[in-house]
Amino acid sequence: GAVVSQHPSWVICKSGTSVKIECRSLDFQATTMFWYRQFPKQSLMLMATSNEGSKATYEQGVEKDKFLINHASLTLSTLTVTSAHPEDSSFYICSAREVAGMNTGELFFGEGSRLTVL
Amino acid sequence: AQSVAQPEDQVNVAEGNPLTVKCTYSVSGNPYLFWYVQYPNRGLQFLLKYITGDNLVKGSYGFEAEFNKSQTSFHLKKPSALVSDSALYFCAVSPRNTNAGKSTFGDGTTLTVKP
């Protein structure tokens, strides 16, 4: 099946610094990727839809200047948490929609990135 | 707007017993329906999907789900639970259009299978 790689798996940073998380589709092309945030024992909160070659579409309440998304190629999307603060600590997950499968909506997920801001 | 409800936060079953994890949805039109599983500190893994056709869908690890249009339900089932099935399960719905993939997820159900 299609594989999505997310890196890093764990990251600890100081308050005020920026952190970049990468999401790569390894064996398929993904014109669309999605970024989620997940709090402990809670569901996925969709943050934004990342479209290759265009600006990301952010969900209501998500600060686009805080969570910068870049989708420069058909296999890579990045999420940068800028000027991170402890309240940004969370589990961030990406998913990708295979171009060939865009009519069925099946998603392939990365392994997630645990961000801890001290 | 589409929505998904998983009425049970927690489901506990004994190993070897059948299990059911419930899901109901609300959406206009005919959506795509999915089940995903998440193990601790991991991303989600696809289990199965309903697109069209037979209402009983078979997926990975012996799981199956039954689509019931009149009840707008898509319950996940397995005839004989394993301890290794213990995980967090998400039901999801996706529209049948260019937004396919922008899925709406339920709040998740934690399945615990006891030996």
For the segment B55-76, what is each residue's pLDDT rounded down to a tens digit? 999 999 999 999 999 999 999 9
Determine, for residues A44 and B105 on separate chains, whether the beta-carbon distance falls below 8 Å: yes
> pLDDT digit of tens for each residue in chain A (118 aa)?
688 999 999 999 999 999 999 999 998 888 889 999 998 777 889 999 998 888 899 999 999 999 999 988 889 999 999 999 999 999 999 999 876 655 566 789 999 999 999 9
Q: Are B48 and B57 in contact (CB under 8 A)?
A: yes
For residue B53, the chain A residues in CB contact (below 8 A) are none
Residue A80 in tokens: 């940068």
What per-residue confidence (pLDDT) applies to A47?
Answer: 95
Q: Could you give the CA distance from residue A115 to residue A5 in angstroms, rounded to a whole number? A: 16
Residue B77 vs residues A49, A104, B93: alpha-carbon distances, Å = 31, 22, 17
Residue A56 CB-density burial (10 A; 0-12 exposed, 13-18 middle, 19+ buried): buried
Mean pLDDT of B4-16: 96
Mean pLDDT of B73-102: 88
Could you tell me the pLDDT band of residue B98, with boundaries at 50, 70 and 90? low
Q: Could you give the CA distance from residue A4 to residue B43 in angstroms, rounded to a whole number? A: 10
Q: Which residue of B has its CA nearest to A59?
A: B102
Determine, for residues A105 and B95 on separate chains, whether the beta-carbon distance falls below 8 Å: yes
**Residue A86 identity:** P
Q: Which of A14-28, B42-56, B73-87, B90-104 is predicted least confidently?
A: B90-104
Determine, for residues B102 and A46 on separate chains, whether the beta-carbon distance falls below 8 Å: yes
Q: Are B20 and B12 in contact (CB under 8 A)?
A: no
Name which of B16, B17, B34, B38 is nearest B25 in CA terms.
Answer: B34
Residue B36 vs residues A74, A81, A116: alpha-carbon distances, Å = 24, 27, 26
Could you tell me the pLDDT band of residue B53, with boundaries at 50, 70 and 90? confident
pLDDT tens digits along A6-16: 999 999 999 99
Q: Is the pLDDT of residue B16 over 90?
A: yes
Q: Are B114 and B17 in contact (CB under 8 A)?
A: no
Name the 3-class secondary structure at B81.
coil
B93 CB-near residues (< 8 Å, 6+ apart): B2, B3, B4, B25, B27, B31, B32, B33, B34, B103, B104
What per-residue confidence (pLDDT) applies to B103?
Answer: 85
For chain B, the straight-line distance linking the first and the last C-alpha, in angstroms and rounded, comes to 41
What per-residue confidence (pLDDT) applies to A99?
Answer: 66
Q: From the candidates A106, A108, A109, which should be mutated to test the interface with B, based on the most B CB atoms within 10 A?
A: A106
Residue A73 vs residues A50, A51, A70, A91, A96: alpha-carbon distances, Å = 11, 9, 9, 24, 13
